[in-house]
Amino acid sequence: MKINKYFVIDFDSTFTKVEAFDVLADISLKDHPEREHRKKEIIEITNQGMNGSISVRESLERRLNLLAPAKKHIGPLVAVLKEEISESFKRNRDFFTTFADHIYIISNGFREFIEPIVTEFGIKPENVLANEFRFDQDGQVVGFDTENPLSANNGKVELLRQLNLPGDVYVIGDGYTDYEIKHSGLANKFYVFTENVERGSIIPKADHITPSLDEFLYLNKLNTVISYPKNRINVLLLENVHPVALELLKSEGFSVETYHAALTEDELCEKIKNVSVLGIRSKTQVTARVLEQANRLMVIGAFCIGTNQIDLDAATKKGIAVFNAPFSNTRSVVELAIAEMIMLIRNIVDKSVKMHKGIWDKSAKGSYEVRGKKLGLIGYGNIGTQLSVIAESLGMKVLYYDTEEKLSLGNAIKCKTMKEVIEQADIISLHVDGRDSNKDLISTQEFGWMKKGVIFINLSRGHIVDIQALRENILSGKVAGCAIDVYPHEPASNDEEFQSALRGLPNTILTPHIGGSTSEAQENIGNFVPAKIMDYINTGSTSNSVSFPNLTLPLLENAHRLIHIHENVPGILARINHILANHGINIVGQYLKTNELIGYVITDINKEYDKEVIKELRGIEHTIKFRILY
């Protein structure tokens, strides 16, 4: 590509995430008694230099005095710096090779460690402009080349003047000395680079803020690897989702905003207009009205199991993919179920209550082991199956009923009806989903089928059990022990009183919907959902989406990926292919899947295409959303 632009790039905190001197300090001062004190001082001096409050030479001299570096430290320093290259630089290696003649690295750091790093990206050694160490015969650094302009104030400006580049000059950097080049009139533009550090005093002086190299390339139409800079994708995370999710999405380069609580419908209607990725938990209601305003929204991540809080049909019709975390807290629920069945069959709850009142009631009456008992599972999905395996390892016999055909794990016995399970079980545990038809699944009739003295557990959904019928059966002694975690009506917040006909009943464990609430589960969710979101944005993959037809796609190599979401009407695929054929475009791969509402077509085409094609594809009638990846 022929261009008339030169790119002047800073090294410390721009090309690499870190300041090389900070890393050098860890190496050269490794066993030094004043190590921590000196490191702190070095950071302070670096910042003073960056802000322009001390001279470059003073900064260099003072830091080298503290560092006492030697030749032997350079190799280990380079090894660490290679691991610390800025993420967006790594993503855009192509840029450096394509424009090698036009790229200069200019740094007040030292050639000895800069050159080995940047030349690996295709940057020419002669285009690396930096200071040089002076060593004594033992290899100890005794100073630096003081003739080099970069060792003095205004060094970058001076060097640029000498270079006299025959075109526009764009400077990318994070510090004051980078800004100086623009200020002196030697650069056309200064792009402050904020991926690694944000220096408040420099940002206002820049022509553009570039949170990543992607943004710089996009602004200058030089992007060859990334279709759209990630920092332009706004992510809104509500309801205190786990910090690991924030970290993952940030390190991917997205602009992420977080809020500790849910937003009201009105607030969300306003906020959603600029949001491309929304992360919520169970309290935020994503209604059709909210979605009407969500013109940039591509994907919703529900950082929980349930998705009832989202109008899934409305989201799908708008071409918004929804992902949740269906198995992230499975294990937590299973552990609680196991713990509760043991507590209940030993009558521990009543015994504990008595002890707190000072009553010593030592007796084995009404206390049993779970080993050898029959556990009846209603619902054999993610949780039911895992509970089945663990219960068997405790020596229980497992019976289950599921409306779907499910593979029995271990020695579990499948029953044809729910009644069959209920009649035989010593312990009954419910693990069905919350579909409307499951309301009062367990009511007077079903309690009637149960064995006397049964243990009854519901950690699934509240409306599945008729609470009045349960109360009567506890009071009559039919149900000898009961654990409930979910209720037909649950308080909206911790400030509201919990009201239930189950309060005060014997051998009854009541918990506030915490079956899946463990740190491990929250962290699992925090990892799982962002992975789904990033996969969807980066590859178009929709595996495990609750709203979109599920497609798992191969990684894209040397091709463009066209992602077309349309209303599910016949003939769209034919029209897409017709347009591509008309333009003589070669399809390297194509994937189509539909559900009742939408069709999802992925077409991989070879590199060259005419912008007109994109216009035509976008213009196909019934198109909901269209995007290109490359």
Active site residues: 461, 490, 513
Nearer Cβ to ligand NAI, position 53 or 444?
444
Smallest CA-to-CA distance from 614 within 629, 594, 599, 600 is with 629
Q: How far is CA 466 from CA 447, 453, 455, 502, in A?
A: 10, 19, 16, 11
Q: Tokens representing 548? A: 């979109």
* The residue to which tokens 């005060």 are assigned: 504
Nearest-approach distance from CB 98 to ligand NAI, in angstroms = 49
Nearest-approach distance from CB 516 to ligand NAI, in angstroms = 3
Q: Which of 9, 106, 432, 553 binds ligand NAI (CB under 6 A)?
A: 432
403 near ligand NAI (CB under 6 A): yes
What is the C-alpha separation between 46 and 177, in angstroms, rounded?
A: 12
Q: Tokens representing 511? A: 């918990």
Nearer Cβ to ligand NAI, position 346 or 461?
461
Q: Which of 156, 182, 397, 431 binds ligand NAI (CB under 6 A)?
A: 431
Q: Which residues pair with 398 in a beta bridge?
A: 375
Q: Which of 291, 378, 509, 597 binds ligand NAI (CB under 6 A)?
A: 378
Q: Which run of H or E residues covers position 481?
A: strand 479-484
| Beta carbons of 343 and 575 less than 8 angstroms apart | no
Nearest-approach distance from CB 457 to ligand NAI, in angstroms = 11
What is the C-alpha separation between 49 and 176, in angstroms, rounded?
A: 8
Alpha helices, DSSP H only, in 68-121? 74-83, 87-91, 93-98, 111-118
Nearest-approach distance from CB 512 to ligand NAI, in angstroms = 10
What is the C-alpha separation between 389 and 374, in angstroms, rounded?
A: 13
Nearest-approach distance from CB 373 to ligand NAI, in angstroms = 21
Smallest CA-to-CA distance from 210 within 9, 18, 47 is with 9
329 near ligand NAI (CB under 6 A): yes
Residues 6 or more apart whose Cβ sits within 8 Å of residue 326 = 305, 382, 544
Hey, how many other C-beta atoms are within 10 angstroms of the C-beta on 90?
Answer: 10
Nearest-approach distance from CB 370 to ligand NAI, in angstroms = 20
Half-sphere exposure of 20 (CA within 13 A, CB side): 30
Nearer Cβ to ligand NAI, position 516 or 599?
516
Strands 587-594 and 598-606: antiparallel
| Only segment of 179-187, 263-271, 328-336, 544-552 that touches ligand NAI (CB under 6 A) | 328-336
Nearest-approach distance from CB 380 to ligand NAI, in angstroms = 6
Nearer Cβ to ligand NAI, position 513 or 593?
513
Nearest-approach distance from CB 405 to ligand NAI, in angstroms = 9
Nearer Cβ to ligand NAI, position 335 or 567?
335
Residues 6 or more apart whose Cβ sits within 8 Å of residue 277 = 233, 234, 235, 236, 249, 254, 297, 298, 299, 300, 301, 533, 537
Q: Which of 16, 382, 524, 547 binds ligand NAI (CB under 6 A)?
A: 382
Residue nearest to ligand NAI (CB): 381
Hey, how many other C-beta atoms are within 10 angstroms of the C-beta on 355?
Answer: 11
Q: Which of 67, 150, 291, 305 binds ligand NAI (CB under 6 A)?
A: 305
| Beta carbons of 227 and 218 less than 8 angstroms apart | no
Nearer Cβ to ligand NAI, position 347 or 524?
524
Q: Position 196: which residue type?
A: N
Q: Which of 13, 347, 460, 473 binds ligand NAI (CB under 6 A)?
A: 460
Nearer Cβ to ligand NAI, position 480 or 486?
486
Half-sphere exposure of 62 (CA within 13 A, CB side): 18
Give just the sign of the alpha carbon dihedral 358, 364, 370, 374. negative
What is the C-alpha separation between 528 and 534, in angstroms, rounded?
A: 10
438 near ligand NAI (CB under 6 A): yes
217 near ligand NAI (CB under 6 A): no
Residues in the chain: 630
Q: Which of 404, 405, 436, 596 binds ligand NAI (CB under 6 A)?
A: 404
Q: Which of 122, 306, 488, 506 binds ligand NAI (CB under 6 A)?
A: 306
Nearer Cβ to ligand NAI, position 229 or 384?
384
453 near ligand NAI (CB under 6 A): no
Number of residues that bind ligand NAI (CB under 6 A): 32
522 near ligand NAI (CB under 6 A): no
Nearer Cβ to ligand NAI, position 220 or 403?
403
Nearer Cβ to ligand NAI, position 343 or 378?
378
What is the C-alpha separation between 170 and 191, in angstroms, rounded?
A: 7
Q: Which of 381, 530, 549, 599 binds ligand NAI (CB under 6 A)?
A: 381
| Only segment of 210-218, 220-228, 288-296, 397-405 that touches ligand NAI (CB under 6 A) | 397-405
Q: What is the CA radius of gyration of the chain?
A: 32
Residues within window 481-520 making contact with ligand NAI, judged by CB under 6 A: 485-486, 513, 515-516
One-character DSSP codes across 303-335: SSS--TTB-HHHHHHTT-EEE--TTTTHHHHHH
Nearer Cβ to ligand NAI, position 404 or 497?
404
What is the C-alpha separation between 51 and 45, in angstroms, rounded?
A: 10
| Only segment of 34-42, 72-80, 382-390, 620-628 that touches ligand NAI (CB under 6 A) | 382-390
333 near ligand NAI (CB under 6 A): yes
466 near ligand NAI (CB under 6 A): no
Phi, psi values for residue 304, rounded to 5°: -165, -170
388 near ligand NAI (CB under 6 A): no
Return residues touching ligand NAI (CB under 6 A).
305-306, 326, 329-330, 333, 378-384, 401-404, 418, 431-434, 438, 441, 459-461, 485-486, 513, 515-516
